[in-house]
Amino acid sequence: MSSVEKFVRFRGGGVSLGAVGVGIAAFVMYFATLTPTVLDYDAEHLKDAAVFQAVAALPGVPDYTGYPTYAMLGHLFTYLPFGDVAYRVNLASAVYGAVAVALVFLIAHRITGRISASVAGAAAFALGPTFWGQTAIAGVYTLNAMLVSLVVFTLLVWRDTRKDGHLLLAAFLMGISLTNHITSGLLLPAAAVFVGLVDWRTVSRVGLVLKGAGCFLLGLLPYLYIPIRASMDYLPEGFTPWGPPALRENPPNTLGGFVELVTGGHWTGSMFVFGVGDFPGRFEIYITYLYGEEGQFGVLLALLGFAGFCVFALRDRAAAALLGFLFLGWLAFSLQYNIDDIYLYFIPTYLMLGVFMAVGFASLLDAAERLFGAVGSSARMAFTAVLSVAVMGMPFAGAGETFRAVDRSGDFAGREVIETVEREVGPDAAVMHHRSPLFYMVLIENRREDIELVSHVENRASIAGALSTLGEGRPVYKLFPGSEDTHYFRGVESARAVYAEYGYELVEVAEDIRLYEVVRAEGRFLGHEIIP
């Protein structure tokens, strides 16, 4: 073996070790902040986590866009022999997140050729509070980041090898990505632009294009899980599943219900609702999460990322077009989407920025080496080593503060809700709730199966409808999703006034978890005497 071959093998081994090291380091951080059990509803940060825990554990069919890949992969984690089932589902997010960070390193190294710059870019992405926070809970966003990264990395490998198999694998992975999150559909046009810029003759090969289409369709097979599972009798008799009423009335085991679910039809009224005049205000939201009050990266890293992209565009037109197309596409979609937790849709743009930052870091190292090119090799190597360490350390500024902000290792709020409801709610009661851990209590832990769970968001129309539907003859309780009013639901005091209009009052059972009994104002339960 020649000395050149030995160097190439050593360098390749160093890159692999770097990816593994970055991934393990990220996982250790995420593992340390992992939520230990079932999660509670939180209007700010945990709107869906408790439902995802129950869905993955069953497994069931999630609402919104179905998420079949998430449901099936998450279910595999429930067979681990430690922790409760909810903890295992949370752990899946940490694993996906760590793999995504390792892939960001590999993408950055494919582009820059520098290990230290790639470590810095991957670390910047890994330590961002929005992404890190998602690794501690059940959710689809870390899996989305992993799949997106895998597609981008595979496309870059294809460019270097020009092997058709890599391109077909990328097509398959694009299909898989779409079954996890609908925004991954942007990978298709981005990949087409990339392939065309690398070698336009590739897209004219009809046979290869047809094979790619077949691989993409093969990647969509997880969608079959939705109608198949929805056709099974896996929920208790009379159980009201999660999701909006339209989903329950038009179930996904019908063609119309399936299309409505996987295309996000229930949320089309929230998509593309802002005009050109709204753009400055919407973009300000992104800037706030990027380097403003939310402190995603800090202004220095953010500027370095954008400067890195400029250098990137000059040096590597095809790769810059791929990542730039994805960045702008995901940013444009998220800024047009009118939902409260829009900051979660920014995560893929942060991933792209992590790669851009790696390019910026590499450019700094290149400039330093050129600047010190006239000095002795030993002095130049020493300076480069010191600068590399400094570059890798930059993203860790403020990491301790982020750790404390995202740490959920002591979060037992969801467990407290379950224990209190089990202890305090009367037999054969109805409990009105919204995406709470009670799904998990009944369906996964098989506790209080006598309770009827009624999905319910507190507003004037729903209060009147729930009271007329539940009727007389049994205790009725309300578990509020939040104490204060939001545009989505009423808080306790606001709801109390509406209940009073209909002749009912809310009697506190456990204020700390927002649990109340719905009692007739004249001194009777809905059909039951109050015992003094």
- Torsion 55-60-63-68 (CA) sign: positive
Beta-strand pair 504-510/452-455: unpaired
Beta-strand pair 504-510/515-520: antiparallel
CB 409 within 8 A of CB 135: no
| Distance (Å, whole) CA 501 – CA 470 | 17
Q: What is the pLDDT of residue 5?
A: 35
| Distance (Å, whole) CA 306 – CA 284 | 16
| Distance (Å, whole) CA 479 – CA 325 | 44
CB 402 within 8 A of CB 129: yes
Q: Which of 500, 443, 449, 509 is nearest to 476 (CA)?
A: 509
Q: Which of 251, 261, 473 is nearest to 452 (CA)?
A: 473
Q: What is the pLDDT of residue 1?
A: 40
Q: What is the pLDDT of residue 525?
A: 47
Q: What is the pLDDT of residue 367?
A: 82
Q: Which of 297, 241, 13 is nearest to 129 (CA)?
A: 297
Q: What is the pLDDT of residue 4?
A: 35
CB 53 within 8 A of CB 86: yes
Q: Which of 115, 189, 201, 110 is nearest to 149 (CA)?
A: 110
Q: Which of 392, 391, 371, 474 is nearest to 432 (CA)?
A: 474
Kindly give, in sequence order, each residue whose CB lies less than 8 Å from that of residue 328, ignoring residues fewer than 6 positions away. none
Q: Which of 149, 28, 159 is nearest to 94 (CA)?
A: 28
User: Both tokens of residue 136?
Assistant: 């501690």
Beta-strand pair 430-433/476-479: parallel
DSSP code at position 201: G
| Distance (Å, whole) CA 139 – CA 125 | 18
Q: What is the pLDDT of residue 463?
A: 76
Q: Which of 440, 395, 423, 464 is nearest to 122 (CA)?
A: 395
Contacts for 282-286: CB closer than 8 Å, 24+ residues apart: 282/335, 282/336, 283/335, 285/335, 285/342, 285/343, 286/331, 286/334, 286/335, 286/346, 286/349
What is the length of the chain? 532
b/e 227-260 (16+ beta carbons within 10 angstroms → b): bebbeeeeeeeeeebbbeeebeebbbeeeebbeb
- Kindly give the parts of the chain with pLDDT less than 50: 1-10, 524-532
Q: Which residue has the tokens 């409260």?
A: 340
